[in-house]
């Protein structure tokens, strides 16, 4: 828990830098525009589609058309928010995180040498694969979302998994070797998931949730590089040609 709080406190501290706010706001604006676009052009059709599936069909047959529409609109909005969050997370992971990482690696973690290989290609492939699994998990668990309580728990767990699966690896792809990443993933499995869950909780707060994809990237960069620094026992590792 102490490591998570340290990463979160450093994330807040980093927001004092104006340059990082540009990186944070880009996915937020993208997510907002995508949400409005999907709502305007797709919500009606999605609601009508959901009305053809149980339990909405049962509610209609029982004369509870109003309740069927309420559940259909709820499901439609949840689908739109999930799609917008996923798209913003992909943008944050593939484009924004490398920019944040370059900035923080040069300032806060200059002693943590980049020893990874082909970080952009590997990180992009990881993000896309995580997104596919997220969509599959979302579709498989969708019928359970109509059960009381699960409509809140399942989205947070799926987002927590997506955050950990995407940002934990991407934050370290450039700096950690394959062996270092495997060791970190094993020893920090629970804290990484809890950090992802913390970000997932924030994602459900109105307006603040728009910032969460970029804030997740930032917090995982802080957590990952600090964990890698400690794993290397604080030793200064340098690579010829990396620094002037």
Nearest Cα neighbor of 102 from 221, 240, 12 is: 221
- Residues of the chain above pLDDT 90, percent: 54
Least confident of 73-77, 87-91, 146-150, 230-234: 146-150
DSSP state of 167: I
Cα 32 to Cα 38: distance, rounded to the nearest angstrom: 10
Listed range (14-23, 93-102, 226-235) with the worst mean pLDDT? 226-235
> pLDDT higher for 30 or 50?
30
Q: Is the pLDDT of residue 240 over 50?
A: no
Residue 239 has pLDDT above 50, yes or no: no
pLDDT band at 143 (very low <50, low <70, confident <90, very high): confident
The answer to whether 154 touches 79, Cβ cutoff 8 Å, is no
pLDDT of residue 138: 84
What pLDDT is attached to residue 146? Answer: 67
> For position 212, what pLDDT does the model report?
93
Q: 147-192, pLDDT tens digit by residue?
A: 767 777 888 899 999 999 999 999 998 999 989 999 999 999 999 9
The CA distance from 17 to 12, in Å, is 10
pLDDT of 242 higher than 70: no
The confidence band for 74, taking pLDDT boundaries of 50, 70 and 90, is: confident
Domains of the chain, by residue range, sit at: 2-38+79-230
Residue 213 has pLDDT above 80, yes or no: yes
Q: How far apart, in whole angstroms, are the C-alpha atoms of residue 31 and residue 89?
A: 9
Q: Is the pLDDT of residue 92 over 90?
A: yes
Of 69-83, 93-107, 180-194, 209-223, the one with minimum mean pLDDT is: 69-83
Residue 235 pLDDT exceeds 60: no
pLDDT at 234: 52
Average pLDDT, the chain: 87
Q: What tokens appear for 217 in the block?
A: 């990237």
Average pLDDT value for residue range 31-37: 92
CA distance 104 to 17: 11
Average pLDDT (103-108) is 92
């Amino acid at each position: 828990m102490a490591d998570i709080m340290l990463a979160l406190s450093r994330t807040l501290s980093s927001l004092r830098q104006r340059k990082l706010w540009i990186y944070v706001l880009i996915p937020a604006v993208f997510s907002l525009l995508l949400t409005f676009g999907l709502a305007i052009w797709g919500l009606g059709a999605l609601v009508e589609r959901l009305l053809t599936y149980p339990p909405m069909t049962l509610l209609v047959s029982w004369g509870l058309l109003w309740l069927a529409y309420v559940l259909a609109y709820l499901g439609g909005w949840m689908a739109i928010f999930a799609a917008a969050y996923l798209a913003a997370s992909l943008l944050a992971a593939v484009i924004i995180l490398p920019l944040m990482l370059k900035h923080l690696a040069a300032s806060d973690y200059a002693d943590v040498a980049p020893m990874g290989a082909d970080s952009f290609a590997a990180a992009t492939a990881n993000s896309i694969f995580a997104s596919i699994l997220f969509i599959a998990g979302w579709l498989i668990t969708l019928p359970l979302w109509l059960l009381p309580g699960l409509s809140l728990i399942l989205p947070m767990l799926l987002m927590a998994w997506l955050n950990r699966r995407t940002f934990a690896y991407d934050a370290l792809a450039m700096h950690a070797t394959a062996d270092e990443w495997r060791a970190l993933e094993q020893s920090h499995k629970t804290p990484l998931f809890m950090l992802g869950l913390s970000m997932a909780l924030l994602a459900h707060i109105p307006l603040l949730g728009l910032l969460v994809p970029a804030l997740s990237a930032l917090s995982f960069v802080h957590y990952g590089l600090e964990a890698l620094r400690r794993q290397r026992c604080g030793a200064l590792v340098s690579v010829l040609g990396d620094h002037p």
